[in-house]
Structure 1
């Protein structure tokens, strides 16, 4: 599509546009975040439908059949780049210039936007919270981290590597205080030859 002069100019102008630093995708995620997946997709379908109507100068967005292909609706290379540009602004995504060919109907494009905008949020929805993770890590004896070869990495993550790889951290010290006798003996014997 870079071979078409009007498209090349539009792409060049888009790259020169200053960004205001706002994250439109986060604003959109916030607005749609409380909705079900079906409601999100329906809202994004309306966004695509409205944008298509603007780009093609339709009088009313209801003239846009979301199940018709973009080519049937009247898109060419220039209008496809214009649609992509407007959707990039609305979502703060970086959609490819070929988006109308990759997702040939407004409905398919809306489904792609929903997947792109909410995939990360949906993927982390089932993850445990920070407190739950902290409790789980605190329940693991330090010797198990040593055996697995994870203690140096954990200490680096905690930014305590300056104290030396074997120096106990405040967290380790407080964890040692909370351990039962069996765990303490296991740690003590871990460093011996017996």
Structure 2
């Protein structure tokens, strides 16, 4: 994925899928979970459970300043798919389409595969 094509801004700072993945890595390390060597790895393979998914969603919500559904990790079960989805949600919010974008539970594919 190209960071030039996959970018947005939050509070004037450029947000990319790489930045979102770095935040996920930061949170994963802080919570003593397995940091993925491959971002196509599922959250389940990294040791995430349902409580971890909710806590990570809250963490990313604060960073991105968008409302994120608690079940988003179930709908986007890999690190890469989650980052791409969240970036796509941050872009409409950047364009001023409301105070908060909402991370829906409508996945591109792979519902419940983690």
The answer on 1:41 being equivalent to 2:17 is yes
Partner of 1:32: 14
Q: Once the two structures are superposed, what CA deviation does each residue of 1:162-181 show, in whole Å capped at 9, x if it has no partner? A: xxxxxxxxxxxxxxxxxxxx
Partner of 1:107: 80
Partner of 1:164: none
Which secondary structure state, in structure 2, belongs to the residue aligned with residue 32 of structure 1?
Answer: strand
Report how far residue 64 of structure 1 moved: 2.2
Q: Once the two structures are superposed, what CA deviation does each residue of 1:22-76 show, in whole Å capped at 9, x if it has no partner? A: xxx832xx1116xxxxxx1222222222223223x14xx8x32322101111111
Which secondary structure state, in structure 1, belongs to the residue aligned with residue 45 of structure 2?
Answer: helix
Contact 2:21 2:79 in 1 (8 A): yes
Which secondary structure state, in structure 2, belongs to the residue aligned with residue 75 of structure 1?
Answer: coil
5+ long unaligned stretches in structure 2: 1-8, 96-114
The answer on 1:84 being equivalent to 2:84 is no
Partner of 2:92: 119
Partner of 1:53: 29
Report how far residue 120 of structure 1 moved: 5.1
Q: Give matches, 1:1-194, under 5 Å.
A: 26-27=10-11, 30-32=12-14, 40-55=16-31, 57-58=32-33, 63-65=35-37, 66-119=39-92, 121=94
Q: Distance in 1 between matches of 2:57 and 2:30?
A: 12
Q: Distance in 2 between matches of 1:120 and 1:72?
A: 31
Aligned Cα root-mean-square deviation (Å): 2.6
Q: Distance in 2 between matches of 1:46 and 1:93?
A: 18
Aligned residues: 88
Return the structure number with greater relative CO, CA threshold 8 A, min gap 6. Answer: 2
Higher strand share: 2
